[in-house]
Chains A and B, each alone.
Chain A
Amino acid sequence: MAEGQNDRIAGIVGTEVEYGLSWSNRPPEDPERLSADLIGQVSEQFHAPVLWDYENEDPRHDARGFLAEGERENPDDADNRSLNKPLFNGGRLYVDGAHPEYSGPECASVRDVVRFEKAGDRMVSLCQGAFSARQDGGPPLLVLKNNSDGKGNSWGYHENYLLPRSLPFDVLARSISSHLVTRIVFCGAGKLGSDQNPEESGRYFLSQRAEFFEIPMGLSTMVHRSVVNTRDEPHSERSLYRRFHVITGDSNLSEISTYLKVGTTLLVLRALEAGALEPPVFSDWVESFRRVGMDMSLQLPLGLENGKTMTALECQEVICSQVRQYLEREGMDAESSDIIGRWENVLVMLRRSSAGLARTVDWAIKWSVLSRYREKKGWELTDSRLKMLDFQYHDLRPDRGIFSMLENTGQVDRLVDPMEVEEALTHPPSETRAYFRGEMLRRFLTRVHAVSWSSVVVDPGEGPLKRLALGDPWKGTQKRVGALMGKSGSVGELLRALSPLPAGE
């Protein structure tokens, strides 16, 4: 079972970021190939040249209890290597369809989630720099950490929360829906212009993603996107755990927005796990999500199941106060206390339209920059130079990204020290199984054949390869295996010492 500080299960989180990719003057002819070329630039300092182990991967399971149609992935070794870059920090850099993608390692603190996501941005930015340095003239390559191209195409940002299997999925879906619909008031990344309605090209949206959602619940992430995603691929012991896969979020540049997006959702899930939350539920999740996503006034009423209405901000105030009561009853660790404090604070700032939002909340930071720039220039909001500014806010080039410039000149707030981000490029988090994965790669690289979220495949030197199952994300931590790994001179010795932990196959 889980061995979190208080026997809870909810507490491990990881995020996945897909990046937009384009030449400055034309779209890439073969985006999959270009994505592979880009991640192929990753430094040997960060990337361990081993295979990705597809044995345990199967995204077709639906949380409602069936298996969707489709083929399991299993590329040959050459493709496996070009599409996957397992990382010493326990994460994975890879190609997902037409986009480069970074999945951070499993983290047991929200601050770590922010730190490792930022490390991913930095790694991809370094790839971009190395790629450009090798280019012989030609237009620059832009890599954007955003989620829409302004023309009706979206790519993802996904959060993954470890939950107990015992929490019924229908209860989870119903209760989390209102938080997912309304949290964008403090974690939307903002965008200028609609992706779907040309008449709204001059409107500023809170959310990059909300316009793309069509159904309340479903399995697909690419078509008919759903407010609550039902993918049931726990990457862990299926009888104990569920991995709740959240696809409604925007990619954030602001560390504070990422921290609030993940932190508040984690606290809501913990309260749900304890049966301590009864949030208002909207009658139409999709319509409500879309309305919040386009409403900078924060005034639009949303219809509730009980026939009444509520604004997104009012809904957030109710959920936040229920979570506060739960935490006060149960007691809270330092991070939960910090998250709930910042959550309450941002809701007050939103209520008062405080200037501080323009240093912390992505959509407000970008709007502040856009509107001040536009005012000086006297341009219409439909001017393509302002849409360029919107795109460039998300640009990962350190000398051309607008957010990067704001950060370097102290115009936005940070959460983590840049030195801690540097460390996260090469070292795994210590409190989850990512530690074991990352340290195996670092200490015994020549003996590791492949890794995945739930396995490390080693070559013991004699006999067949051995797949070590990492079925429990709370195990394989520095505390549990750090000393053993340090003492073992060889993989064989380590395997003997670890037996029966982690469980071998």
Chain B
Amino acid sequence: MASKDSETKKHAGTSPSQEEKDQVGQVPSHTRQKAEEIKEEADTLVDQIDEILEENAETFVKSFIQKGGE
């Protein structure tokens, strides 16, 4: 799996331009459906993680110090 940063989504949150809207109109419906499914899955995953991620992340990450083992 090649390194894929998520720079492509930099514009997330801003409203789509007219050009982007036009492009959406041209995408075949099954592709759009697939894209929506992926988006839904991502939303679900974020909710699932939000539910269980420890709230005191910074404290844990700083204080998790182990003696070397083996």
Given A26-B63, A384-B57, answer yes or no on A298-B70 (Cβ-Cβ < 8 Å): no
A296 adjacent to B67 (CB under 8 Å): no
A149 adjacent to B70 (CB under 8 Å): no
B66 adjacent to A22 (CB under 8 Å): yes
The smallest beta-carbon distance between B55 and chain A, in angstroms, is 9
Chain B contacts with A in 41-70, Cβ cutoff 8 A:
42-43, 45-46, 48-49, 52-54, 56-70
List of B residues within 8 angstroms of A371 by Cβ: 4-6
A18 adjacent to B69 (CB under 8 Å): yes
A25 adjacent to B68 (CB under 8 Å): no
List of B residues within 8 angstroms of A402 by Cβ: 49, 52-53
Given A372-B46, A378-B12, A405-B48, answer yes or no on A31-B60 (Cβ-Cβ < 8 Å): no
Chain A contacts with B in 308-359, Cβ cutoff 8 A:
350, 353-354, 357-358
B66 adjacent to A149 (CB under 8 Å): yes
A155 adjacent to B53 (CB under 8 Å): no
List of B residues within 8 angstroms of A387 by Cβ: 57, 61
> What band does the interface of chain B fall in when counting residues whose beta carbon is under 8 Å from A?
20 to 34
Given A296-B3, A353-B2, answer yes or no on A369-B45 (Cβ-Cβ < 8 Å): yes
Cα–Cα, bound, A421→B48 (Å): 25
List of A residues within 8 angstroms of B43 by Cβ: 376
Quick one: which of B1, B3, B52, B53 has the most chain A CB within 10 A?
B1
- With CB as the reference atom, state the residue of chain B lying closest to A376: B46
> What band does the interface of chain A fall in when counting residues whose beta carbon is under 8 Å from B?
35 or more
Chain B contacts with A in 1-49, Cβ cutoff 8 A:
1-6, 9, 12-13, 42-43, 45-46, 48-49
Cα–Cα, bound, A387→B59 (Å): 11
Chain A contacts with B in 372-400, Cβ cutoff 8 A:
372-378, 384-385, 387-389, 391-392, 399-400
Given A392-B53, A400-B52, A402-B49, answer yes or no on A367-B69 (Cβ-Cβ < 8 Å): no
List of A residues within 8 angstroms of B65 by Cβ: 22, 27, 149, 151, 153
List of A residues within 8 angstroms of B54 by Cβ: 24, 388, 392, 400
Cα–Cα, bound, A156→B66 (Å): 12
The smallest beta-carbon distance between A389 and chain B, in angstroms, is 6
List of B residues within 8 angstroms of A216 by Cβ: none
Contact with B along A247-287 (1 / 0, CB 8 A): 10000000000000000000000000000000000000000
B68 adjacent to A154 (CB under 8 Å): yes
List of B residues within 8 angstroms of A158 by Cβ: 70
B67 adjacent to A405 (CB under 8 Å): no
> Which of B9, B60, B69 is in CB contact (< 8 Å) with A222?
B69
List of A residues within 8 angstroms of B56 by Cβ: 24-25
The smallest beta-carbon distance between B43 and chain A, in angstroms, is 8
A18 adjacent to B70 (CB under 8 Å): yes
Q: How many A-B residue pairs have CB under 8 A?
A: 142
The smallest beta-carbon distance between B67 and chain A, in angstroms, is 4
List of A residues within 8 angstroms of B5 by Cβ: 371
Cβ-based interface call for A409 (8 A): yes
The smallest beta-carbon distance between B2 and chain A, in angstroms, is 5
List of A residues within 8 angstroms of B6 by Cβ: 371, 374-375
Given A96-B69, A155-B70, answer yes or no on A388-B60 (Cβ-Cβ < 8 Å): yes
The smallest beta-carbon distance between B41 and chain A, in angstroms, is 9
List of B residues within 8 angstroms of A223 by Cβ: 68
Cβ-based interface call for A21 (8 A): yes
B60 adjacent to A391 (CB under 8 Å): yes
Cα–Cα, bound, A150→B42 (Å): 27
B60 adjacent to A24 (CB under 8 Å): yes
Cβ-based interface call for A364 (8 A): yes
List of B residues within 8 angstroms of A358 by Cβ: 1
B60 adjacent to A25 (CB under 8 Å): yes
B70 adjacent to A373 (CB under 8 Å): no
18 A–B contacts, CB within 8 A, in A order: A22-B66, A24-B60, A27-B64, A31-B66, A96-B70, A98-B66, A99-B67, A150-B61, A151-B64, A153-B66, A154-B68, A155-B70, A353-B1, A375-B9, A384-B58, A387-B57, A389-B49, A392-B54
Closest 5 CB pairs of A and B: A155-B69, A388-B57, A98-B67, A156-B70, A221-B70
Name 11 extra pairs, CB < 8 A, besides A27-B63, A353-B4, A369-B49: A96-B69, A153-B65, A222-B68, A222-B69, A296-B3, A354-B1, A367-B1, A369-B45, A371-B5, A372-B42, A387-B61
